[in-house]
Amino acid sequence: MKIASISENKNVEKRVAITPDTTKKYLSEGFEVLISKNYGDHLGFSDNEYKELGANIINDENKIIQDSDILVQLGLPSDEKLKSLKDNQNLIGVLNPFSNKEKINNLIKKKVKNFSLELLPRITRAQSMDVLSSQANLAGYKAVIEAFSNFEKAIPMMMTAAGTVPAAKVLIVGAGVAGLQAIATAKRMGAIVFATDVRLASKEQVESLGGKFLTVEGSENLETEGGYAKETSEEFKKKQEMLLADTLKKIDIVICTALIPGKKAPIIIKEEMIKNMQSGSVIYDLAAIQGGNSELTKVDEVIINEGVKIMGESNILNKLPTSASNLYAKNMYNFVMNLYDKKNKKININLEDEIIEKTLLK
């Protein structure tokens, strides 16, 4: 059984799906590992390191794809590379089926089995495979670091002989995995932290990390069975806007993390609210790639509006690619081993397994 991975477009994606650590694990399970030349060089994972472990380094990426039984990636490979996939091969990654519908339908017609890991069910057994959680944890942490480095005042309260520097006030919009890590990071650095989320179940988690949960009066729990946020009603949106508009006047830094799977990110911070923020404040929008939670967010641009800096990157994890790769590759290994029938040394697509049934694109 051959498991393979080719280089991503490094201008867009610096993470890798197979690390030296997971190479060792695959080989110990009897897999053959194929990767492209200079696959992990940019992360300090040299070809020699992979070779010494027993991986095959191959120059021709189309040959790697054609020879593989399982191709593991971050996202969909290029159109040219997709042509090399054939019947009964398995492609695993974060394939974004909502945006790549036509490409995936073409692969399904070719009888390629496509597994998209962002569709994993929120069940205990799937936690070790949950790429959204592992990557969101790092994204929440890094967003705080980036926002703080662009804020031109001190973060913790400092008492000096010359006077007191007040602690920065931080608002986290969305208290999912990224938001909770952002709360924990901001608190560790001495900020006063507030958070808001449409899921009332988040209140306890926010408060356990030392944040203050902002609740819309008379709100209901807007949470799907899978633990994700639902879209809100117009009435809820108006109440949330009033609460936020008032809160933002005294906030220094906003970290936006609110996403609805498969849909455009909800616009939560309107231009009018930004106008009332203090000059020198920073908004870091982690939802930028899906449209942004701030009305003024532009992907990979820093917008300054009336003294407020609004930032949003297409892939913040490119700033932590080694840590992100290590976690992603372990998630991937755990998913592959759930698919793998060790006894018969083949992939077993058991649709009675909720993990397989939910992630297989049909």
Catalytic residues: 122, 127, 130, 133, 228
The DSSP bridge partners found for residue 116 are 93
Rg of the Cα atoms in the chain: 22
In this structure, the number of other CB atoms found within 10 A of the CB of residue 322 comes to 15
CB 55 within 8 A of CB 45: no
Collect all residues with Cβ–Cβ distance below 8 Å to 27 and sequence separation of at least 6.
Answer: 33, 53, 54, 55
Residue in 212, 178, 207, 173 with CA at minimum distance from that of residue 192: 212
- Burial class from Cβ neighbours inside 10 Å (0-12, 13-18, 19+) for residue 283 reads buried
**Half-sphere exposure at residue 349, Cβ-oriented, CA atoms within 13 angstroms:** 15
